Amino acid sequence: MVLVCLLAYYGREGTFILPSLNRKRVSAVAIRGKSLISPDDFTVEELQQVVTTANEMMDTGIDSYGDLCKGKILATLFYEPSTRTRLSFETAMLRMGGSVLGFGDANTSSVSKGESIADTARVISYYADVAVMRHPKEGAPKLAAQYATIPFINGGDGGHQHPTQTLTDLVTIARYKGDLAQQVVAFCGDLKFGRTVHSLIRTLARMQVKKFVLISPEELTLPTHLYREVQAKGVPMEVTTCLEEVIPEVDVLYMTRIQRERFFNEADYQRLKDTYILDARKMEGAKRDMIVMHPLPRVNEIAYEIDDDPRAIYFKQSECGVYARMALMALQLGVM
Amino acid sequence: MMQVTSISEGIVLDHITQGNGLKIFSQLNLAALDHPVVLLMNVPSRLLGRKDIIKIQNIKDIDLAMIGLIDPSTTVNVIEGGQIIRKHKVGIPETVKGLFKCSNPRCVTNSDTYAEPNFRLVDARNREYACEYCEETTRYRL
């Protein structure tokens, strides 16, 4: 009996797994055909369903799903540069036996001729079974989903939302940390423009973590509407400009890049870009089981010397991202 | 005492805060109507001290959301056969479509004609609305 319980709590790599987040099942029918523009589009149960499925896929092994999406097509509509997200989506679909079409630069598509987002969405609906869109304009994937007849996924819209990064982060926290209700989650860096932060914090607030710690320069604090929203969920929040002061109480440290492309003024970027650099000295003050996450790519905010620290799991996070996207698309397409 | 005759069919916007009558008149473009419209300003009021009133003959369908944005304390009186058949406070609108622009320059509604600005109220006191597309808060100002 004891052995059975232990197996339930430990995953393939000896990592702690949260039964309530990873093992809860809801009907996959609810996700079938559904677009994901914001994490709010999915109920907590549906988010748990994706996390559970992704973790099961990780446990089973990537080679077991080679025929799952045979005959299905993913359209990748990337209106601004992306390496990680686009490749992660493409890998996810190819690993499930499906095909991929699309563009990675608006200048090579009909957009350069002035085609509207709505028209592109309508046409792509006849070509593919599921689509992912990244766009510099905030709300563009939502607009596309309103005119599409296939499930649309927001692959990042300006500084607004990045829901599949949120799914990636949820899978990662569940796999490497466990029970959300016990976690003090700190966000550090650009909380104003960091869309990964926006998506994750509102979702974790819905799932009721123990506490949030918001670490940023005063110019890059969380937008007011989000702050209010998280506050309304009743999760305690601490706001600070000093990482060293709060790091001893943190369980999950989510580092972010100061986003040069979101600044209207280069001088402001130069002044703020190196505000927070996580190095070995700062890590000495952290808990031994704290995890360091980062949506990547990093610039200067995490020193390379941290990479070998077992608490640094940002590369494993990328692995979780592939499984999160496999699980999402498989559920949207109704093949699981 | 100035005399303004009552209307037999149409709408009377009453209890408009002094000074807002002209704003409502202008924003609703009432001057372009083919029907008689009367704007009364600085009318003595037992309740408000001074108030503005707008009377619109023959029209019953007007943009209440815009009136609510400018002056939610306005009372709408619907007149039929010389009688008030319906009377209600406008109140501040919970949702607003297409009446003002999103203040976020990165919002898709500021660059794509298919995306009509659509907002939901988040702070009535400050007239703050969240954009349906980018979720940024926009404070309505005339």
User: Which of 15-74 (B) contact A at CB < 8 A?
Assistant: none
Question: Greater confidence, B1 or A91?
Answer: A91
Do A152 and A170 lie in one domain? The reply is no
Residue A169: the pLDDT is: 97
* Claim to verify: residue A314 and residue A168 sit in the same structural domain: yes
Return the structure tokens found at A237: 């929040």
B95, B48 in Cβ contact below 8 A?
no
Pair A113, A176 in one domain: no
Query: What is residue A299's predicted lDDT score, i.e. its pLDDT?
Result: 85
A146 and A206 in a single domain? The answer is no
Using CB atoms, pick whichever of B115, B136, B137 lies closest to residue A143.
B115
Q: Mean pLDDT in chain A?
A: 88
**What's the domain count of chain A?**
2
Same domain? A53 vs A106 = yes
Q: Give the residue from chain B lying closest to A195, CA to CA.
A: B134
> How large a percentage of chain A has pLDDT more than 90?
70
Report residue A3's pLDDT band, with 50, 70 and 90 as the boundaries.
very low
- The residues of chain B scoring below 70 in pLDDT are 1-2
Q: What is the mean pLDDT of residues A176-184?
A: 90
Cβ contact A291:A311 at 8 Å? yes
The Cα A121–Cα A133 span in angstroms is: 10
The per-type count for chain A, helices as H runs and strands as E runs, is 13, 9
Question: Can you tell me whether residue A187 is helix, strand or coil?
Answer: strand
The predicted model gives A180-190 an average pLDDT of 93
**Per-residue confidence at A105, pLDDT binned at 50, 70, 90?**
confident
Q: Please determine, for residue A24, whether its predicted confidence score (pLDDT) is greater than 80.
A: no
Q: What is the pLDDT of residue A1?
A: 39
Q: Which residues pair with A133 in a beta bridge?
A: A77, A154
d(CA B70, CA A75): 45
Angle of CA points A122, A84, A287, to nearest 5°: 130
3-state secondary structure of A281: helix
pLDDT number for residue A272: 73
A215-272 confidence digits (pLDDT tens) = 999 888 998 888 988 999 999 999 999 999 999 999 999 999 887 666 667 777 777 7
- Claim to verify: residue A207 and residue A153 sit in the same structural domain: no
Residues facing residue B97 across a β-bridge: B118
pTM: 0.82
Task: Tokens for A20, please give them.
Answer: 């309530």
pLDDT-above-70 percentage for chain A? 88
Position A4 in a domain = no
Sequence letter at residue A4: V
Q: What is the CATH number of the domain that holds A178?
A: 3.40.50.1370
Q: Given A118, A159, A224, which is nearest B106 (Cβ)?
A: A159
A169 and A313 co-located in one domain:
yes
Phi then psi for A109, rounded to 5 degrees?
A: -120, 180
Which residues in chain B have their CB less than 8 angstroms from residue A147's CB?
A: 114
Q: State both tokens at B112.
A: 């794509």
Q: Which domain holds residue A290?
A: 164-318
Q: Identity (one letter) of the amino acid at A44?
A: V
Question: Same domain for A272 and A173?
Answer: yes
pLDDT band at A110 (very low <50, low <70, confident <90, very high): low
Which of A38, A115, A160 is the best residue to mutate to test the B interface, defined by the most B CB atoms within 10 Å of its own CB? A160
pLDDT for residue A10 is more than 70: no
| Cβ-based interface (< 8 Å): residues of A facing B | 116-118, 135-140, 142-143, 147, 157-160, 223-225, 228
Would the pLDDT of A4 be above 60? no
For residues B47 and B74, the answer to whether their CB atoms sit within 8 Å is: no
Whether residue A106 is predicted with pLDDT greater than 90 in this model: the reply is no
Min Cα distance A59 → chain B (Å) is 37
- Identify whether residues A134 and A182 lie together within a single domain: no
Asked if residue A17 has pLDDT above 60, the reply is no
User: Is there a single domain that holds both residue A117 and residue A200?
Assistant: no
Contact A170, A47 (CB under 8 A): yes
Rounded-to-integer distance, Cα B132 and Cα B125, Å = 20
Residue A2 forms part of a structural domain: no
CB A111 within 8 A of CB A79: yes
CB count within 10 Å of CB A262 equals: 17
Q: What count of other Cβ atoms lies within 10 Å of the Cβ of residue A12?
A: 12
Predicted confidence (pLDDT) at residue A12 exceeds the cutoff of 50: no
- Is the same domain home to A45 and A68? yes
**Residue A3: inside a domain, yes or no?**
no
Q: Based on the fold, state whether residues A232 and A182 are members of the same structural domain.
A: yes
Q: Is residue A5 part of a domain?
A: no
Instruction: Give the least confident one: A87-96, A273-282, B66-75.
Output: A273-282
> Both tokens of residue A331?
């559920």
3-state secondary structure chain B: CCCCCCCCCEEEEEEEECCHHHHHHHHCCHHHCCCCEEEEEEEEECCCEEEEEEEEECCCCCCHHHHHHHCCCCEEEEEECCEEEEEEECCCCCEEECCCCCCCCCEHHHCCCCCCCEEEEEECCCCEEEECCCCCEEECCC
Q: What is the pLDDT of residue A23?
A: 47
- Residue A293 confidence (pLDDT) above 70: yes
* pLDDT at residue A26, rounded to an integer: 59
- Flag whether pLDDT at A206 surpasses 90: yes
